Amino acid sequence: MVGAGTNTAMEARKLRVVLYPSPGMGHLVSMIELGKHFAARGLAVTVALIDSPHDTSATDPFLTGVSAANPSISFHRLPQVELLRSEPPVMLTFEVVRLSNTHLRDFLAGDSPAVIVLDFFCGAAIGVAEELGIPAYFFCASGAQILAFFLHLPVLHGKSTRSFGEMGQELVHAPGIPSFPATHAIQRLMDRDSVPYKAFLNMSTNLFRSQGIIVNTFRLLEPRAMDTIVAALCAPSRLRTPPVYSIGPMIKSEEVGMKRGDECLAWLDTQPKGSVVFLSFGSLGRFSAKQTRKVAAGLEASGQRFLWVVRSPPSADSSKNSEKPPEPDLDALLPQGFLESVRIKHDIVLLVRYGLGGSYRVGLVLLGIA
């Protein structure tokens, strides 16, 4: 029989991993799933939580469920930082990560972890890890293609003095991913002289300072992108591509007290295999009314079954976009006659509240066949 004192000693000898997710529910959920993999292999896991500038109404219930189901995963909240100016949501994320470096340094210096795993958007923290001599890895929850693009962004930046916004329909070529018109690039990358562009470029270059990159995919799903990354064909010639570890697919597990979107799952179970288009753009994925109408028009023209998480448009006042969004007004957002058209064609449009991590957020899920 092993005594309590022995258990405590064994726990103390466990290698400790610190996970550092960026603000945003989707990033937190993905990072905690990664933590469960580490914990299952006997590692002690601590999640360092940044004080989020975004709506956090779903965060506490989610963390409560995780703690109840996974006692081997602990949480440490970093002190709040003061944001001195209003920023778009993505820039708020970069800024709060940068401002949290002092608090992260203090925490890591006392905790002495063996490794820190940084969220894709937490590149500003890699200098802290380097200063303390802690090996740092990045975690990309979005798959290999987006990783391939950002590994190649410094190359694209160095090859041209033009912004994506100046290139029009000219194709952008990046190893490992299909070519795409420059107009389809991420909106925040359109102006190479803008603060957001420079933040993303800095994020890309920080990837090469890490000891490795963990990506939520598997080779059979994205063979072209994975093979290109591993062959170091995405990176600038002057930089070393870190080792890349594909660990996907990671699927969110049920937590104590959580409830899945049963209505959505029940509807999906009645549809033919591989027939449903799923549209969901994350906790910060909010589109203008014009963009939402274009998505609806495309769905209707496609005739495909769909499951679409519809969220209200961002506020014209950017300072309010970190607040909990209002419930979307579908009559105002969607093209005239869209809802009725879907109802007539296939008799089902089910509107429910649905939340990432099983907790509810403001947003509507539209189920149907266009």
Separation of alpha carbons 329 and 311, rounded Å: 9
234 Cβ partners below 8 Å, 6+ apart? Answer: 148, 151, 152, 155, 174, 175, 176, 228, 241
Catalytic residue among 27, 54, 103, 157: 27
Q: What are phi and psi of 352, to 5 degrees?
A: -140, 155
Are 368 and 277 spatial neighbours (Cβ–Cβ below 8 Å)?
no
Catalytic residue among 54, 55, 103, 119: 119
Q: End-to-end CA distance of the chain: give it in Å, rounded.
A: 63
Tokens 């990783």 correspond to what residue? 147
Closest CA to 192 of 231, 171, 162, 217: 162
| Contact assessment for residue 191 and residue 170, using Cβ atoms and an 8 Å cutoff | no
Query: How far is residue 124's CA from residue 136's CA, in Å, rounded to a whole number?
Result: 12
* Sign of the Cα pseudo-torsion (194, 127, 177, 252, in order): negative
**Active-site residue, 317 included:** no
Strand partners, 74: 46
Three-state SS at 3: coil
Among 131, 154, 141, 133, smallest CA distance to 207 is for 154
- Residue 181 structure tokens: 């018109």
Query: Which secondary-structure segment (H or E) carries 166?
Result: none
Residue 152 annotated among the catalytic residues of the structure: no
The residue among 176, 174, 175 whose CA lies nearest residue 186 is 174
Which residues carry out catalysis?
Answer: 27, 119
